[in-house]
Structure 1
Amino acid sequence: MSKLNKANSKRKLFDVHAPVFWPAVILLTLFISVTLVVGAPMKEFFADVQNAISEYFGGFMILSINFFLIFCLYMAFGRFGHVRLGGKNAKPEFSTSAWFAMLFGAGMGIGLMFWSVAEPMFNYVTPAKPGVVTPETIEAYAEGMKYVFLHWGFHPWAVYALVGMALAYFTFNRRLPLAVRSVFYPILGERIHGRIGDLIDILAVLATLFGLASSLGLGVQQIGAGFEYLFGIKNTTEVQMLVIGAVTLAATVSVVTGLDKGVKMLSELNLYLAGLFLLFVLVVGPTMFIFDGFIENLGNYVGNFIELSFWTESYVNGKFSESHVDWQNGWTLMYDAWWIAWSPFVGIFIARISKGRTIREFVLGVLFVPSLVTFFWISAFGGTAIFYELTGVDISNTIMEDVSTSLYFLMEQLPLSEISSVISIILVISFFVTSSDSGSLVVDSITSGGKLDAPVGQRIFWALTEGLVAAMLLYGGGLQAIQAAVITTGLPFTIVLIFMAFSLRKSLKDEAEAKSDISDYERRIIEMARQRKQKKKTKEDGSALENEVKI
């Protein structure tokens, strides 16, 4: 083989943007190595880091995530809502149903499988405001569902919508690479191609990988718990490592087939399977209780939306709270950091599948449709759990002992429990694979300089790396290590998102003014041309009249 052919072959396997690829790999390796070498003391260190960030920057993160929601609504209903991602003649690449399926699958499917039963029951036992409601009462459950909706509703999807909208606009309308750095072109100019841009993308890679590791860590615990609950296989760390390995290989196969085939097919499979699973619970569970509960939960959430959105846990049990290390640290702030850490991954993925849609259509689709589906899903599974709890089945204590078994224990209370539990495991695995393969495509795009279709070798590398990061963090520090990593990367990326919002608006405003200026200029040119034509015609008519007089 000639040197040229060898070079071409190498480029087909790897085509990285070295200033982003290598620092990201080195930092990941360093973080994992320290976690493994230090061992058990790292758990305490991670807990201290998480508490410190929550205490000193919790209010900042809460204000920021509210700003993201307000900004998205402004973009949808303001003067830029008509702007089409990809240009005025762009057409959607995917059908609306396929688009929603991929939105839901990449956004938070695996997290919902883990927490849709567990979180409502946790809030039932340990409410956010124990002085306001009595624990383990129906009032505590109703109060807790407001916070569950807060954690899984409009705010997280606003974070995704902001990043996806900005990336889609700068990629498809301004013809810049599909990378987070591109969004800052109106502020940084050509410097996005230098060290500042590299730093932004490195941070995006780390945030994405740690955010994914958190979800994959939850998923593998739930899968392992399912194997133990149904088949008696102990849910040990070794079993969890094997699960991560098997699912990572499946994700690798999906990644190799690409976005149009593997990822799209799995996302649609997830949607259909999740729909059947939800329908099963609706039919065999407390149907009317679920529907009525959904309506009331939604009303309580909307009716208390402002208060919930700006709650900082400053006053607890009638006293001033000096820190955020109580309930909110483990729930609201953890979720906020999780969604922000996930935003480069989900945002880039959503941007890739949203070409051809207007900003208004994009925001309303991303913000409201998945949120409403999520609300109904949580009301169905959480509502069924509280229904059986109130009729004498001790679901809450079982969940508090081992949160990863919550979904399987609930299925045991319903008919055909063995079949439904197996389906739930399959669904968790399917969401697991979809998150991993989508994340691989996104990280691959960032580390290749924004290429939409990077070489297959890179896709395989990042699919395997994601599984390795989740496995090592789970092994070395448990979920505490993963959560601390998420919050640590989520905090600086919050600042990135704030600048991203201002950059997007500036670019849209400049574009609108440029079009207006061009239109005025064109009108002046046309008017001048008309006047010259009129003068010429008048002169010709005058010459013709003069000739007639002479004759």
Structure 2
Amino acid sequence: MNTNQRVDELEQRYDFDYEIGEDNIHPFGLDLHNPVFIWSAVLIVVFVVGSMIFPEASKSGLSSTRDWVINSFDWLFLLSGNIFVLFCLLMICLPYGRVRLGGQDAKPEFSLLSWFAMLFAAGMGIGLMFWSVAEPVGYFTEWAGTPLNVAGGDQASKTAAMGAVMYHWALHPWAIYGVVALSLAFFAYNKDMPLSIRSTFYPLFGDRVWGTLGNVIDTMAVLATIFGLATSLGFGAQQAAGGIEFLFGVPANLPLEIGIIAGVTAVALVSVLRGIDGGVKLLSNINMGLAGLLLLFVIIAGSVFAFAGNLLTTFGGYAEYLLPLSNPIGREDQSFYHSWTIFYWAWWISWSPFVGMFIARVSRGRTVREFLTAVLIVPMVVTGIWMTAFGGAGVDQAMGGVGSLAGGIQDSSLTLFRMLENMPLTSVTSFLAIVLVLVFFITSSDSGSLVIDTITAGGKTEAPAAQRVFWCAAEGFIAAALLVVGGADALSALQAASVTTGLPFTFVLLLMCYSLLKGIRHEYALLKLQDRQAAGAA
């Protein structure tokens, strides 16, 4: 068989029988040709109504289910997280890394700076704002459990605290996102398949992914995404309200929280209608600019020398505790292990369809090696710098008996503000922090709406505008309705439901790794043959 015949044979291997379909616009401007939209909408309504009517029962039942998942499958979550990291590192090192998303002639749509900004804003921006002080200070003061039972309020416990924070926020979560994002981008841009979770399983299941199996996978992705976003929006409104009360003395009550949700949703609606360039990209760049200013201020105000020392502690702790924290055997720190590490892993996995698809949307034109290096290594470095500046300053205040953090944490949502009040310009920096929290939420809501819109439209990247508005408004309505009727109990039930979806999605991601490897091996073989074909023609 000559080279031309072999190229033709490889190209035919990914011929598939599936059409995204023509728009089937209904009176409300929604494209309802895909059953995933109907299934998702019905299940969301049933769950939300049930949680509003029976908030305590819902919280109890779903929390019990979440706890069973976390306690029974802790080994699976931890082992899978390790597999995802090793898989991504392997893909960087193998020759497959030269494969370019969208073909060898594809060009990136966004500059490196804008690309990085969107990765962070969608992936972890709000979490880094909330937990950058609370988590390390919590570990250090034993408020939140202690990693590997290293306690004592000394330098050793500080190293363990900073190392554990990096473990939760650096390589492992971004590897989870990277697997999903690379799979989606590869099959969408290199194999011309719909930008949908189901497409990533074509090498394993063939045309069956366009039927009921694919509908179930995509519906699970929609539910995990909207439940996660609504939960974050509800709890984020409570954090922002707490910050406003801290700064301005306005009571952090239900009307203020609902007003914050309404304001965030209104701005997100405008942003989502402007698309990625005029919406998410613009907001992400604003986010990174404001975050950079706050970061620089904290480094300078907290002492550059102290920051440099803490940076060594953070990355040294990460290197020291990476392997022990990755080991599920013989763990004695069960409270920390289950309440933090396994909870985080389930949460990251449940969020991976949303964050992964958004990263895929903005990553066309990057090589596999460039993509995974950016998604793994760059976030690890930036996260380390951020956590060192904020978390290190908080731990230093707790160690030195400075301010309220010396007495431990009373309210995790106010920990960032408690750290800032011991620095100059407290009012200015606290206000900036509140703005950042809100803008990060707007960005998450915006990007989440684009993702859900794409999935429920069968993989279309340009579905009707009314559909994007529908999903964006739904996120805000769900969060507000649950707060009004059930308060924190209803939101906790929603969060428990979202975390529970991490179990089935763990198996989905493991299969995705195998499917992606098969697809990229095929693409690399085709690429080498095309190189030989071009060399022969020359």
Is TM more than 0.5 here? yes
Q: Which has the higher mean CA deviation after the structures are superposed, 481-490 or 395-404? A: 395-404
The structure whose Rg is larger is 1
Tell me the equivalent position of 1:436: 445
Tell me how far apart the structure 1 counterparts of residues 464 and 430 of structure 2 sit (CA, whole Å). Answer: 38
Instruction: Check conservation: 2:102, 2:364, Cα contact below 8 A.
Output: yes
Aligned pairs (5 A) from 1:19-418: 19-126=35-142, 128-129=145-146, 132-311=149-328, 314-316=331-333, 326-396=335-405, 400-418=409-427
Contact 1:17–1:447 (Cα < 8 Å) also in 2: no
Displacement of 1:474: 4.4
Structure 1 match to 2:29: 13
TM-score under structure 1 length normalisation: 0.88
For residue 517 of structure 1, report the CA deviation from its aligned partner. 6.7
CA RMSD of aligned residues (A): 2.3
Partners in 2 of 1:100 and 1:277 — Cα distance? 18
1:458–1:398: structure 2 CA closer, same or farther, 3 Å change rule? farther
- Percent identity, aligned pairs only? 44
Q: Which amino acid aligns with 2:514?
A: F
Alignment gaps of 5+ in structure 2: 1-22
SS at match of 1:493: helix
Residues in 1 aligned to 2:125 and 2:533: alpha-carbon distance in whole angstroms: 51
Query: 3-state DSSP class of the match of 2:96?
Result: coil
- Which residue is 1:544 aligned to? none
Range with greater deviation from structure 2 (205-214 or 96-105): 205-214
Q: Cα 1:312–1:149, aligned 2, differ >3 Å: closer, same or farther? A: farther
Q: Given the alignment of the two structures, is residue 464 of structure 1 paired with residue 473 of structure 2, yes or no? A: yes
- Runs of at least 5 residues in structure 1 that lack an aligned partner in the other structure: 1-6, 317-323, 527-551
Matched residue type, 1:488: T
* Inter-partner Cα distance in structure 1 for 2:257 and 2:468: 23
Which secondary structure state, in structure 1, belongs to the residue aligned with residue 224 of structure 2?
helix
Partner SS for 2:172: helix
Measure the CA separation in 2 of the matches of 1:519 and 1:287.
52
TM-score w.r.t. length of structure 2: 0.90
Q: Report which stretch shifted further, 41-50 or 411-420.
A: 41-50
Letter in 2 for 1:364: T
Compute the displacement of 1:30 (Å).
1.2
Alignment length (residue pairs): 511
1:504 corresponds in structure 2 to 516
* Distance in 1 separating the partners of 2:390 and 2:530: 56
The 3 A distance-change label for structure 1 pair 148 and 130 is closer
Is the contact made by 1:182 and 1:192 (CA closer than 8 Å) also made in structure 2?
yes
Aligned residue identity for 1:463: C
Displacement, 1:175?
0.3
Cα gap change, 1:398 to 1:36, in 2 (>3 Å): farther
1:452 alignment partner, SS class: coil
Q: Look up the equivalent residue of 2:181 and give its one-letter code.
A: G
Secondary structure class of the residue paired with 2:288: helix
The answer (yes or no) to whether the contact 2:397–2:406 under 8 Å persists in 1 is no
- Greater CA drift, 428-437 or 481-490: 481-490
Contact 2:107 2:366 survives alignment (8 Å): yes
- Give 3-state SS (helix, strand or coil) of 2:459's partner: coil
Shift of 1:40: 2.2
